[in-house]
């Protein structure tokens, strides 16, 4: 699977990508619990897109890392595809 082949609302995504950069970590509250979220720019040989990292995932991923995303889901935010 490659970034260029991913479609919005596609689930069960299994892909290996490189993390180009990590954005700012943001905290949020939902159902009385605090969580963290961070967007990362990822790439492969076919393109780039954003990857949403949640909570403990944030500390496990750094710029320059190759990561294997399993059971990912593609959605769209502000007209751009992103993987979560």
Q: What mean pLDDT is predicted for residues 25-41?
A: 96
Q: What mean pLDDT is predicted for residues 50-72?
A: 97
For residue 41, name the pLDDT band (cuts at 50, 70, 90): very high
Q: What is the spatial distance between Cα 38 and Cα 73, in angstroms, rounded to a whole number?
A: 16
Q: What is the spatial distance between Cα 82 and Cα 11, in angstroms, rounded to a whole number?
A: 12
* 79 sits in which H/E element: none
Predicted model pTM? 0.90
Residue 23's pLDDT is 97
Report yes or no: 17 and 78 within 8 Å, Cβ to Cβ.
Answer: no
- What are the residue ranges spanned by the domains of the chain? 3-83
CATH class for the domain made up of 3-83 = mainly beta
Q: What mean pLDDT is predicted for residues 37-42?
A: 98
Q: How far is CA 45 from the centre of its chain?
A: 17
């Amino acid at each position: 699977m490659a970034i260029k082949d991913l479609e919005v609302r596609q689930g069960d995504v299994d892909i290996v990508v490189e993390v180009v950069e990590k954005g700012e970590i943001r905290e949020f509250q939902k159902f009385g619990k605090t969580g963290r979220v961070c967007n990362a720019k990822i790439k492969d040989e076919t393109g780039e897109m954003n990857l949403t990292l949640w909570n403990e995932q944030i500390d496990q991923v750094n710029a320059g890392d190759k990561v294997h995303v399993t059971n990912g889901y593609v959605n769209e935010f502000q007209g751009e595809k992103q993987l979560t």
